[in-house]
Chain A
Amino acid sequence: MTGKTQARARRALFSASGYHGTGILLAVFFLAPFAITILSSFRHGTEARLPPVPPWPTNGVSLDAYRSLDSFGAGVWQHTLNSAAVAIGTALLTVAVSLLAGYGFSRYRFKFKNALFVLIIATLMIPFQSILTPLFIILAKLGLNNSLIGLTLVYVTLQLPFSVFMMRNAFDAVPKEIEEAARIDGARDLGLLIRVLLPLVLPGIVTVAIFAFLNSWNEFLAALVLLSDNSKFTLPILISAVRAGRLGAIDWGAVQAGVTVMSVPCLFVFLLLQRYYMRGLMTGAVK
């Protein structure tokens, strides 16, 4: 009897260790590239050209890679600032517009409401890569090419279909009674929206903001096409210019530092707000 339970316990232990062994291996495979890059970026300048074996700094921690990254373009701070301005601007503007639009679609009745909503969702299917050329010309006509404001507007437009959809769902989930009660208490349109409903749809807002932020922080092609001025480059464009090399030599240390600067905020935002991110993913996927 005891032998049997022992055997079962042993088998359970084996399967558990097999499971977690596989899990750890997988986690290592997916995380190691980040770890290696981040560790390597702190190596001494003389090691930057050597393969990262071992990946951690052997000659003491140094910021050489970041210093050399800083010598490209208008300095890494400027470009990080560009990226941050575009990403945060996109997030704020997307939240503002999709909040109002989501509320409108959820609560007001007007002509062609369904047709308009379908139209917005349909733009989800049109990839912006295929409308890049006209977009470029429109922005040039508006005098917004090669400007971070223009880029932000493009990103907001790209972000809107998903965000409006998301916000409409968030408003739909709020019971009408709450709104009516607030109305009786004397709350008016915008006041009602901000004071009463805003806290209720906050999770939706956070989701919209995260997606807007991450997507515009990471976007490459539109930024590459629309920005031509060196000092306005966002981080991805800067680092790919670094990777393209200067005088035929590529500064891999700077590339490592650049990848670190680009990825760490994303990973940080994701880990901090994972719950909201996953929710947005589900909504976006199931639509």
Chain B
Amino acid sequence: MALVIVFFILPVLFTFWMSLHKWPLIGASSFIGLRNYVRMFSDTRFYSALGFTAYYTVIITIAIFALAFPLAIFVERQRRMVGVYRTAIFMPVVVGLASASLLWVWFGNVDSGFLNPLLAWLGLVDPKSNFFASFDSAFVVICVMVVWKVAGFTMIILLTGLQAIPTELGEAARIDGANRWKRFIYVTLPLMRKTMALSLILSVTGSILAFDQFYIMTAGGPQNKMITVVYYIFNQSFVSFNLGYGAAMSLVLLAILVLISIFQLWLLRVGEDRP
């Protein structure tokens, strides 16, 4: 039994160990000390990748929550057909991000897509406008795609949080004269803190690691403005073959994510302290 555990723990440990010892590996694997890290600090493209990733993470997280929270409240009620709605909203979650990206890149295509005729029919855009030509519109299409794909997931997580709230609390507040809005602000939201922190962290870490959608949909976007950190690491490691540099950046990314994980634990603990 212990053998089995060693058998799979080993690869994990081994990768861990290698990622810690990665910087000597450049070209013919020569030791260059910390020069990869020094290079990183003066690499403006790395900074812009970081900046774009942060921008994307903030926007997409807000967008997902703005949709998923009302959805969770919507499907929380026990009514007929609610299971069907839940399933329908959840469907995009189970297909891959790659499939979703491919689907939407076709949707947004100027000549053969679906979005153009639809929006033109609604009178919103010029039928010949190319969504992937400018940063803003391409960004909007990607955000719509990601929200479409991920909202169901966040919705289900929030739903478990909503269902964990005892109904007596809401009723007690109602008897005390709180209206619906007040009940939501003062009863529901504080009790949801833990769930919200969890889904927030899931969404943030997921967005920081975004790669598929930018690789497939815009290939880095107009003027390389849409390069995320993972995409940049991918480019450096497997297109330019600067494996050492890529690994150094991976470690920085890992450090950022570990910090966020610690922040997550802290946030969850705060949630437990206040009943």
Contacts and interface: CB of A to CB of B under 8 A. Distances in A.
A274 B85 CA distance: 14
B185 to A, nearest CB: 23
Interface in A246-287: 250, 252, 255-256, 258-259, 262-263, 266-267, 269-271, 274, 277-278, 281-282, 285-286
A30 B96 contact: no
A36 interface: yes
Contacts of A244: 219
A214 interface: yes
B134 interface: no
A1 interface: no
B257 A101 contact: no
Nearest to A37: B103
Interface residues of B, number: 79
A60 interface: no
Mostly helix, strand, loop or mixed at chain B's interface? helix
B22 A262 contact: no
Interface centre among B82, B88, B199, by most chain A C-beta atoms within 10 angstroms, is B88
Interface in B214-256: 215-216, 219, 230, 233-234, 237-238, 243, 246-247, 250-251, 253-254
Contacts of A50: 112
Interface string B65-87: 00000010010010101101101
A101 B8 contact: yes
A266 B5 CA distance: 30
A43 B113 CA distance: 14
Nearest to A141: B18
- Interface core residue of A51, A104, A239 (most chain B CB under 10 Å): A51
Given A129-B230, A133-B246, A136-B238, A243 B91 contact: no
A18 to B, nearest CB: 11
A232 B212 CA distance: 19
B2 interface: yes
Contacts of B124: none
A176 interface: no
A119 B9 contact: yes
B106 A37 contact: yes
B95 A263 contact: yes
A126 interface: yes
A270 B102 contact: no
A20 interface: yes
A278 B156 contact: yes
A127 B19 contact: no
A217 to B, nearest CB: 7
B261 interface: yes
A137 B243 contact: yes
Interface in B79-117: 79, 81-82, 84-85, 87-89, 91-92, 94-99, 102-107, 109, 111-114, 116-117
A135 B15 contact: yes
B54 interface: no
Given A33-B107, A137-B18, A285-B160, 12 more contacts: A23-B85, A52-B112, A100-B4, A120-B9, A127-B257, A130-B253, A131-B15, A157-B8, A236-B99, A240-B216, A266-B94, A277-B94
The 7 closest A-B pairs by CB, nearest first: A218-B96, A27-B88, A134-B18, A236-B98, A104-B1, A220-B98, A130-B254
14 contacts: A23-B82, A30-B89, A30-B91, A30-B92, A48-B112, A50-B112, A104-B1, A138-B18, A153-B11, A157-B12, A218-B99, A252-B109, A263-B99, A269-B94
Interface of A: 16, 19-20, 22-23, 26-27, 29-31, 33-34, 36-37, 48-53, 55, 97, 100-101, 103-104, 108, 110, 116, 119-120, 123, 125-127, 129-138, 153, 156-157, 160, 214, 217-221, 224-225, 236, 239-240, 243-244, 250, 252, 255-256, 258-259, 262-263, 266-267, 269-271, 274, 277-278, 281-282, 285-286
Interface of B: 1-2, 4-5, 7-9, 11-12, 14-16, 18-19, 22, 25, 71, 74, 77, 79, 81-82, 84-85, 87-89, 91-92, 94-99, 102-107, 109, 111-114, 116-117, 148, 152-153, 156-157, 160, 198-199, 202, 205, 209, 211-212, 215-216, 219, 230, 233-234, 237-238, 243, 246-247, 250-251, 253-254, 257-258, 261
